Amino acid sequence: MITKRCIKSENTPIGQACWELPDESIYVHRLQHETKSLDCVIIGYWEKDWNGDIENAKTVSKFSGAYEEIKLNSILYENRRISYEEFFNQSLAIATRKNWNLSAFNAPNLAVCYLTDFLRRLGHNVEFVNFVNHHMDKFKHLLSKTPRCVALTTTYYVDHQVLVDLVEMIRRSSPTTKIVLGGPFIYSLVSRESQEVQDFILSEIKADIYILDGQGETTLGNVVESLKTTNGDISTVPNLAIRKEKVIHRTPVLPENNNLNNNSIRWKAFDKDFLGRVVYLRTSRGCPFSCSFCTYHINGGKFEQMALSTLEMEMRALCEQGVTHLMFVDDTFNVPASRFIEICKMMKRNRFRFKWISYFRCGHVSEEIFDLMQESGCTGVILGIESGDQSVLDIMNKGVKVEQLGWSIEQLNKRGIATAASLFVGFPGETEQSVNNTIKFLNETKPTFQMVQLYYHYDYTPINRRASEFSIKGAGYSWSHKTMNWKRAAELVRKVYTSVPGSIITPLRRFDLWTMQYWESLGFRRETLMQFLKIAQEMLLATLDEQQPNFSAQQNRLASLFSGTDTRTALSRLNSLQ
């Protein structure tokens, strides 16, 4: 087991683990004498071809809104639906006469960086594959070394069938390697489902070991250590579900409380070519709010924040590594306001000159905050607007007034900070009038981008406690309540998209503000990306009814757009990456 200091305070619950990593120097000697065997391979993300998902969704389109949501995030092009990212690559290929296979998933996966560094600090021999689809040769090479274990992060997965296929692919390449799964998908599963359902899904996935803690890095470290020193006996490691055939055995629970400051990422330990110019950063854990459509405030654990000095240290390292663009993934990066102000001032004081984006909450803001955001390099924010109707916002327990949302968008737009308004249609209590109010709100405030999706009902969120009050029936994309059903909501999403000409449609699937930040880090100008989105928007709206118009005019405009001088810097950098 990992030897650690256990630091407790008067606020630490009895029986709860409160670990911090020892000084790195303790492990230097051990690391130098580590065997050459590979202890662990961290796997970031593997994307399954979504054509199968499209066909499956289409077959049940009379009973579920899943296919409607796909149509709202894709273009019917040359008789098949493709994502914006694929269309971007195709358009670039036509303009440059060279095939491209670029993906924003090539940006360093934050979980991969964090877990790799965490395990290496413990002296383990660890390698990683950031994005399997684009690094298949590396993936196969590392598995050929028969590592003791492969650890899969599950941040981006919502369907266990994808994990089934990935586990099977790993098993074929390295049959004796232990496969470990943890992260948001697994923790969400064990938090909301009965043990019977959990066991069924975990048996279906067929991994060997599942980490059940919401954090999990200490548990993973203990698993790797046990595989090395106890002949594979992990029965004494807490927080696990261990699969043996179709039987799932659970070990005792010992909640983790890993220190954000002691476990900060040593960015200088990563190769500059891997980091590139854009990196995700996390400065906090958990959420202090309690929106009724979300469970993160429950499952994410206690709201904790990294010390300003630790964040400053990480940002200095990233600056020295040549990183120019940052993406803060905190759900509540600007809360509390006092800390956010100090972060912005720290960035100004260090003259980092990062271009950064983040999520942003519109309550408790001031002109000083917006000024500091602009001065510290903020180029865009994702706003969880959710609705432009006050009654719906109140049911959501958003704790914000429509007027506050509008004023924030006005102030951000005024300072040239891109605003991406994220909304969904069909939440319990939604009506035709509330959707009209949302349309009116968007037309008046004019956010740069609009990201509108069909409501997806999770039956384990707080709003479901009011199921009888709202007559909620069904789940997922197949639901109804007393004022609306999924079919009408899907029609109203289309109405929003066609009634708000002043905001550019940005799909949630593979071309949101995060994706644009990645393209910008490669040298594309935002104006170029916005022109691409405007042309793609014409095509999206034209194909919502499965019609296939002649897009020669749009194709010519795209060819001209990507052949212009504005893209030369980007193309030069892209050529160096190929």
The pLDDT of residue 288 is 85
Q: Is 2 left (phi over 0), alpha (psi -120 to 50) or beta?
A: beta
Q: Which of 471, 528, 532, 478 is nearest to 507 (CA)?
A: 532
Examine the pLDDT at 22 and tell me if it is beyond 50. no
Q: In what order do the strands lie in the sheet with 240-244?
A: 126-131, 40-45, 149-152, 178-181, 209-211, 240-244, 247-250
Residue 105: other Cβ atoms inside 10 A:
20
Kindly tell me the sign of the dihedral angle through the C-alpha atoms of 260, 263, 268, 269. Answer: negative
Angstrom distances, CA of residue 52 to CA of 18, 59, 120: 44, 11, 38
The pLDDT tens digits for 428-478 are: 999 999 999 999 999 999 999 999 999 999 888 999 999 999 999 999 999
Examine the pLDDT at 329 and tell me if it is beyond 70. yes
The pLDDT tens digits for 40-90 are: 999 999 998 888 789 989 999 999 999 999 999 999 999 999 999 999 999
The pLDDT of residue 313 is 97
The pLDDT of residue 45 is 94
3-state secondary structure of 368: helix
- Residue 118 pLDDT level (bands cut at 50, 70, 90): very high
- R_g (Cα) of the chain, nearest Å: 24
Q: What are phi and psi of 400, to 5 degrees?
A: -145, 150
What number is the average pLDDT over the span 546-560? 93
The pLDDT of residue 36 is 66
Q: Which of 14, 19, 24 is nearest to 258 (CA)?
A: 19
The answer to whether 67 and 61 are in contact (CB under 8 A) is yes
The pLDDT of residue 3 is 40
Q: What are phi and psi of 427, to 5 degrees?
A: -60, 150
Q: Which of 346, 238, 322, 245 is nearest to 17 (CA)?
A: 238
- Residue 573 pLDDT level (bands cut at 50, 70, 90): low
The pLDDT of residue 576 is 60
If you average pLDDT over every residue of the chain, what do you get? 90
Examine the pLDDT at 423 and tell me if it is beyond 70. yes
Q: Which residue has the higher pLDDT, 486 or 35?
A: 486
The answer to whether 170 and 150 are in contact (CB under 8 A) is yes
The pLDDT of residue 297 is 62
What is the amino acid identity at position 299? N
3-state secondary structure of 529: helix
- Residue 7 pLDDT level (bands cut at 50, 70, 90): very low
Examine the pLDDT at 110 and tell me if it is beyond 70. yes
Return the ∠ at Cα 365 (arms to 360 and 366), rounded to 5°: 135
- Residue 568 pLDDT level (bands cut at 50, 70, 90): low
What is the amino acid identity at position 100? W
Q: Which residue has the higher pLDDT, 498 or 8?
A: 498
What number is the average pLDDT over the span 211-222? 95
Look at the block and give the residue holding tokens 């880090």: 521
Task: Tally the C-alpha atoms within 13 A of residue 63's C-alpha that lie toward its C-beta.
Answer: 6
What number is the average pLDDT over the span 362-390? 96
The pLDDT tens digits for 239-287 are: 999 999 889 999 999 999 999 999 999 999 999 999 999 999 999 998 8
Name residue 77's beta-bridge partners.
Answer: 80
The pLDDT of residue 231 is 79
Examine the pLDDT at 155 and tell me if it is beyond 60. yes
Per cent of the chain over pLDDT 70 is 91
The pLDDT of residue 18 is 37
Examine the pLDDT at 577 and tell me if it is beyond 90. no
Name residue 451's beta-bridge partners.
Answer: 422
Q: Which residue has the higher pLDDT, 172 or 32?
A: 172
The pLDDT of residue 459 is 87
Name residue 372's beta-bridge partners.
Answer: none
Examine the pLDDT at 560 and tell me if it is beyond 70. yes
Examine the pLDDT at 29 and tell me if it is beyond 60. no
The answer to whether 57 and 67 are in contact (CB under 8 A) is yes
Q: Residue 25 and residue 162: Cα distance in Å, rounded?
A: 40
The pLDDT of residue 12 is 35
Examine the pLDDT at 31 and tell me if it is beyond 70. no
